[in-house]
Structure 1
Amino acid sequence: IRLTGDKEQTTGTLRDGGRAAAFAAVKETAEFAPLVVDDVRVIAPGHGLDAGLFAKDYFAPYIDEVWSTYTGKDLTVTTNAGTFTGRVRADKFTFDGPAPVSFSKPSTRDVLFCDGNLAAPNDGTTGPVAAVLGAGFNRSTLLSNPAQPTTGASDFYRTELTNHYAKAIHAATEDGKAYGFAFDDVADFASYIQDTAPTAIRLTLTPF
């Protein structure tokens, strides 16, 4: 997409060989390989889970480790509303800050869709914290960085248990931006552009 207005902006451009590289990368991880449908498409893992092609408990070990880790120390989450400080208490991740918010332990599906126990209402408090947590789970940065969000792309997807689909989709684009999961816009890594005075938009479909 190219957006013209106050400035020229482009996002979503596949790098040379990006499509084939994304298919190959997803196939390399056994749990994600069933999401590749011939040379036709790669199904996002959340939808693959609903279709019986992805494990319902894939993220469970990481989720359990996050819950265990932050029973004994604080996790801080900084949003536009301010900084929230949280710990797991009585099996709920409870945060103090501009407003009290808490989350029950999410499922793998909750992590992939940032829904259910990680639902993000448009309330300015719970929603932004949920979005940052969702990003931290998908990018597997919650254990490596107790101050969220992690903003350096080189720190994303570094563990074996991570969202390999999102990793592959980001690697396939020229600017490294994509929607690999809900709230991939945390720290500005989504293929999203805006302009308050737009004059033109061009959509280019790259031939496969």
Structure 2
Amino acid sequence: MVDDTRIIAPGHGLDAGLFAEDYLAPYIDEVWSTYTGRDLKVTTNAGTFTGRVRGDRFTFDGPAQVAFDKPSTRDVLFCDGALAAPNDGTTGPVAAVLGAGFNRSTLLSHPEQPTADPARFYLTELTNHYSKAMHAATEDGKAYGFAFDDVADFASYIQDTAPTALRLTLTPFE
């Protein structure tokens, strides 16, 4: 809450010094530790990537090899930095799924990502409570609470993945 008038996203609160910079660090550390000893599978349009923490990096094999440094709380909240998602069809989609898993706190409970059941989201103490509240406040449970909240179709927009036509009608403002 800012001046009792506005709720800001936690990433912006972090940048404004209103939110703990290391809030998600224990969860991030636990994910890193867990996947040192077991595989995480991430499925994207490019195929299934199998990852494990090797050294300091989460390395995935599959249709291509992609790797990520351990993210900070800020990286998770913005899906940026160590979780930056280039529009390359491989690294970007895996980063987006990881970002969603961190924000929804499903990475430890579900070693196959993305998790598509919203009843499984936000069940840990360390989670993106802002996004949880945004989704709870919408009629259909869809909102954009963090970057890549569209992973598994939870963003608040309409899309048609196989359009055959488009009609656009513009009328004058009156």
Superposition TM-score, scaled by structure 1 size: 0.77
1:73-129: per-residue Cα shift (whole Å, max 9, x none)?
Answer: 000000000000000001100000000000000000000000000000000000000
1:49 maps to which residue?
14
Residue type of the alignment partner of 1:71: T
Please state how far the C-alpha of 1:200 moved relative to its aligned partner: 5.8
Q: Distance in 1 between matches of 2:5 and 2:157?
A: 25
1:114 corresponds, among 75, 79, 85, to: 79
What RMSD, in angstroms, separates the aligned Cα atoms of the two structures?
1.3
Q: Structure 1 unaligned runs (5+)?
A: 1-35, 202-208
Aligned to 1:6: none
SS at match of 1:42: coil
Higher relative contact order (CA 8 A, sep 6+): 1
- For 1:46 and 1:187, how far apart are their aligned partners in 2? 22
Stretches of structure 2 lacking an aligned partner (at least 5 in a row) = none
**Residue 192 of structure 1: CA displacement?**
1.5
- In structure 2, relative to structure 1, the CA distance for the partners of 1:174 and 1:71 (3 Å cut) is same
Q: Equivalent residue for 2:154?
A: 189
**Counterpart check, 1:133 vs 2:63:** no
Matches within 5 A, 1:9-48: 36-48=1-13
Quote the offset at 1:198 in angstroms.
4.4
Q: Deviations over 1:18-68 (max 9, x none)?
A: xxxxxxxxxxxxxxxxxx135522100000000000000000000000000
CA distance in 2, matches of 1:101, 1:56: 27
**Aligned residue in 2 for 1:144:** 109
Task: Give TM-score, length-normalised by structure 2.
Answer: 0.92
Match of 2:89 in 1: 124
Q: After TM superposition, what 4+ stretches of structure 1 lie above 4 angstroms from structure 2? A: none
